[in-house]
A and B are shown apart, each in its own frame.
Chain A
Amino acid sequence: MSEQQCPGSVPPSMDPEAEFMASEQQTANDWELFKENIRPLKRGRNVQLLNHALRSHSQPSLKRSLLHTRRRFIDAIDEYEGEDPLQPWLDCIKWVQESFPTGGECSGLLVIYEQCVRTFWHDERYKDDLRYLKVWMEYAENCSDAEVIYRFLEANEIGQSHSIYYCTYALLMESKNKLKKADEIFNLGIARKAKPLEKLEADYRKFLARSTRKKNIEDESVELENHMPVRSFGTVLAAAGVRNHAAENSDIPRKRMKLQRLDTNRPLSIYSERSTEGNSKPEVMRNNERAWHTLANQVDRNKENTSVPSKWTSYKVPQKIASRTVLPTPSTRIEVFVDEECAGLPPVEEVKSVDPSILQLRQGNSVNLKRETELLKENPLRNFPLNHLR
Chain B
Amino acid sequence: MASRTASKDIITLRGSAAIVSEFFGYAANSILYNRGVYPEESFAKVKKYGLPMLLSQDEGVKSFISSLTSQLSEWLEAGKLQRIVLVIMSKASGEVLERWNFNIETDSEVVVKGVAREKSDKEIMREIQAIMRQVASSITYLPCLDEPCVFDVLAYTDKDVAVPFTWIESDAKLIKNPQMVKLHSFDTKIHKVDTLVSYKNDEWDEE
Which residues of A does B touch, CB under 8 Å?
Answer: 1-10, 15-18, 20-21, 25-27, 29, 31-32, 35, 38, 40-47, 50, 90, 94, 130-131, 134, 162-164, 195-196, 198-199, 247-252, 255
Contact = CB atoms under 8 A, between A and B. Distances in A.
Nearest to B207: A196
Contact of B161 (A7, A32, A250, A251): A7
Interface in B29-87: 36, 39-41, 64, 68, 71, 83
B168 A35 contact: no
Contacts of B199: 44
Given A21-B196, A40-B144, A90 B204 contact: yes
A146 to B, nearest CB: 17
B156 A5 contact: yes
Contacts of B154: 3-5
Contacts, number: 153
B142 interface: yes
B166 A32 contact: no
Contacts of A31: 137, 140-141
Contact of A195 (B101, B174, B207): B207
Given A17-B180, A20-B196, 7 more contacts: A16-B178, A17-B198, A42-B144, A44-B141, A47-B181, A198-B92, A252-B146
A389 to B, nearest CB: 26
Interface string B164-186: 10111111101000111111000
Main secondary structure of the interface of B (DSSP, over half): mixed
Nearest to A87: B204
A5 B155 contact: yes
Contacts of A130: 204-207
Given A2-B152, A4-B154, A20-B182, A47 B137 contact: no
B191 interface: no
B159 to A, nearest CB: 4
16 contacts: A2-B68, A3-B152, A5-B154, A17-B101, A21-B194, A27-B180, A27-B183, A32-B137, A41-B144, A42-B146, A44-B201, A50-B140, A131-B204, A134-B204, A199-B207, A251-B41
B107 interface: no
B101 A21 contact: yes
Most buried by A among B41, B140, B163: B140
Contacts of A45: 140-141
Given A2-B153, A3-B170, A5-B169, A44 B179 contact: yes
A44 B202 CA distance: 7
B15 interface: no
B157 interface: yes
Size bracket of the B interface: 35 or more
Nearest to B40: A251
Contact of B36 (A38, A41, A163, A255): A255
A21 B147 contact: no
Contacts of A2: 64, 68, 71, 152-153, 155, 166-168
B180 A3 contact: no
Contacts of A18: 83, 103
B94 interface: no
Most buried by A among B39, B101, B163, B174: B39
A26 to B, nearest CB: 6
A199 B152 CA distance: 23
Contact of A16 (B64, B174, B203): B174
Contacts of B71: 2
A164 B207 contact: yes
Contact of B103 (A21, A29, A46): A21
A97 B51 CA distance: 32
A304 B160 CA distance: 74
B114 interface: no
B202 to A, nearest CB: 4
Given A3-B170, A4-B157, A5-B156, A199 B147 contact: yes
B139 interface: yes
A248 B36 CA distance: 13
Contacts of A27: 180-183
Nearest to A138: B204
Contact of B202 (A10, A32, A43): A43
Contact of A5 (B36, B143, B172, B183): B172
B158 interface: yes
A47 B143 contact: no
Contacts of B139: 40
Contacts of B68: 2
Contacts of A47: 141, 179, 181
A107 B132 CA distance: 32
A385 B11 CA distance: 73
A68 B23 CA distance: 46
B82 to A, nearest CB: 9
A280 to B, nearest CB: 32
A44 B159 contact: no
Nearest to B63: A1
Given A20-B196, A47-B179, A90-B204, A3 B101 contact: no
